[in-house]
Amino acid sequence: MTSSSTVSGPPAVPAPPPRERLVAIGEIVRAHGVRGAMRVRPLTDDPARFGRVTACVLWDAARDQREPRRITAARVNGAEILVAVEGCTTPEAAQALAGRFIAIPESEVLPPREGTFYPWQLEGATVVTEEGREVGRMAGIEHGPGQDLWVVREGTREHLIPAVAEIVLDVDVAARRVVIRPPDGLLEL
C-alpha cells in the first residue's frame, strides 16, 4: 500500500502592498492650546483645503514612519492652520508631533494650476543645458530667502541651481526634463 501525503506549511503570506507615495500638505510647527491642537505651516497653495481633508497621515519623513489619523477640526489662523487630529488630546501629545508632516496619498493631490507643477513632480527629472549637456538629475529642493535652489546630482557631484526664470528655461513634467541656462561658473562650484 502506498500512501501519499501532502506537505503543508503555514499559508503563504501575500506580499505587502507597495507604500503609496505621500505628499506633505503641512508641517506641524508646535502645540496650540490645552486640548491637543497643533499649529501647522501649510505647504499647499490652498490652505483652506485642510477644512475639506478628513483623513491624513502624520508622517515622519526622515524615518518614513506613518500614522493614519482623522482630522477632527481645522481652521486658518493667520499664516498657519490650527489642526486637531483624532487621538491627540493634550499639549504634550501635540508637541511630540512637531516636525512631522501632515500628508495625503499622491492620488488625492489637487491638480496643479495650468502652467504650474508641484516640485516633487520633478524628482528624478533629467536636467540639461540649453546646448543639450546633461547636468544631472533633480534630487530635491532647498528653500532659500530669495528663491528656491534645485538640488541636481550627477554621480557624487551636487549642483545647486537657482530656480529663477533667467536660469530655468523650460520644465517639461511629462517628459521629466528641465532645460537650464547656467551662468558662467555655476556648474563648476
Q: What is the predicted pLDDT for the residue at 44?
A: 86
Q: Does residue 112 have a pLDDT over 90? A: no
Are 29 and 21 within 8 A, CB to CB?
Answer: no
Q: What is the predicted pLDDT for the residue at 59?
A: 94
For the question of whether the overall pTM of this predicted structure is more than 0.75, the answer is no
Are 55 and 68 within 8 A, CB to CB?
Answer: yes
Q: What is the predicted pLDDT for the residue at 4?
A: 42
Q: What is the predicted pLDDT for the residue at 18?
A: 57
Q: Which triple of cell numbers denotes residue 18?
A: 507597495
In angstroms, how far is CA 2 from the centroid of its own chain?
62
Q: Which triple of cell numbers denotes residue 50?
A: 485642510
Q: Which triple of cell numbers denotes residue 66?
A: 506613518
- Rounded CA separation 113/147 (Å): 20
Mean per-residue pLDDT, 31-39 = 97
Q: What is the predicted pLDDT for the residue at 10?
A: 43
Query: In the chain, pLDDT over 70 holds for what percent of residues?
Result: 90
Q: Which triple of cell numbers denotes residue 107?
A: 492620488
**Mean of per-residue pLDDT scores for the chain:** 88
- Rounded CA separation 154/97 (Å): 35
In angstroms, how far is CA 165 from the centroid of its own chain?
24
Q: What is the predicted pLDDT for the residue at 21?
A: 85
Residue 81: other Cβ atoms inside 10 A? 24
Cα–Cα nearest to 159, from 132, 186, 178: 186
Asked which of 8-22, 28-42, 63-77, 168-182 is least confident by mean pLDDT, the reply is 8-22
Mean per-residue pLDDT, 177-182 = 97
Q: Does residue 36 have a pLDDT over 60? A: yes
Q: Which domains does the chain have, with CATH numbers?
A: 22-108 (2.40.30.60), 119-188 (2.30.30.240)
Q: Does residue 11 have a pLDDT over 70? A: no
